Structure 1
Amino acid sequence: MTIANWCVLAACILPIMTVGIAKAHSAKLPRDAGRYDNSAPREWAKGLSGWQQRANAAQQNGFEALPLFIAAVLLAQQAHVDQGRIDQLAILFIALRIVYTISYLMNQGTLRTLIWSAGLATSIALLLMA
């Protein structure tokens, strides 16, 4: 498996880990005070606020970013673009998604948007290489 393929896997797991942080934090709470409820996860998410709400939003955005990134990696590989270049851009995308998530959790809206834009540009660059 190429580095870029590992990055696709990482991009799929990152959103799950993001909301997992919020779920894990809620494990300390009493059941009636906002603890994660696996039998009603959507209802639990509706009641979130602060950084936990932002973690849930970052998870959703992570899933929204997946189709373009996955397609870009696969199409670049299918077009026999230099694998080293694909790997570099895929690593950059993952690094940007990690920093994006951190900036989202820290409520840094402008920074988050700039990082999101760079991630989008990375996926588009991969796609254009194909």
Structure 2
Amino acid sequence: MSSTNYSFYAIPAMWVTSIGAHFYAASLSSHRDFGGSFDNVSPREYNAKIRSLEKQTPIMAKYLRAEAAQANSFENWPIFAAAVIAGNVARLPVATLNLFAGAYLASRVLYNVLYIGTTSPTLSALRSVTYVAGIVGCSTIFIQAGNVFNKGLGLAL
């Protein structure tokens, strides 16, 4: 067992995991189907333009899924960061925090891969399972931290 607490490092790692989906999407936009490269000056307008096209090619659909995966990751980043902080403030065991952080990051990487590559209902259901697994992990850490504080064992703030 490691006594090194890696959980705080997982917070910026989650950011890298989140932005990675965007970088992948931007790389897809250099495909000839897009008729030009990613517009970094107005990325939201660029996404809206691609979304509004009457006919999207499979590469365009993949681009939009990658951008959606990125958005979902950034929307979930705060709950993960808050869970890491709550677990550390409650002084949960380092092994628990490291396992949680590693499992959460793994679930988000798998989520992104499934989101970007999924075109079937079966795989989209698996994507949803990975999403829920991450939320359950965060909720578990919050509950464990709450239990510590309810027993009066947490840090006095």
Fold-level similarity (TM above 0.5): yes
Tell me the TM-score normalized by structure 1: 0.91
Q: CA shift at 1:54, angstroms? A: 0.4
1:34/1:44 contact within 8 Å kept = no
2:84/2:97 contact within 8 Å kept = yes
Deviation per CA, 1:29-86, whole angstroms, max 9, x where unpaired?
48x7142011111111121531110000000100111111111110110011111111
Q: CA shift at 1:88, angstroms? A: 0.5
SS class of match (2:109): helix
Do residues 13 (structure 1) and 16 (structure 2) align? yes
* Whole-Å separation in 1 of the counterparts to 2:75 and 2:42: 22
Percent identity, please.
26
* Whole-Å separation in 2 of the counterparts to 1:105 and 1:52: 8
Query: What is the letter of the counterpart of residue 46 of structure 2?
Result: W
1:103/1:112 contact within 8 Å kept = yes
Tell me the TM-score normalized by structure 2: 0.76
**Which stretches in structure 1 are left out of the alignment for 5+ residues?**
none
What stretches of structure 1 move > 6 A for 4+ residues in a row?
A: none
1:39 is matched with 41
Aligned-CA RMSD value: 1.7
**Which has the larger Rg?**
2
Q: CA shift at 1:27, angstroms? A: 2.9
1:121 is matched with 136
Number of residue-to-residue matches in the alignment: 129
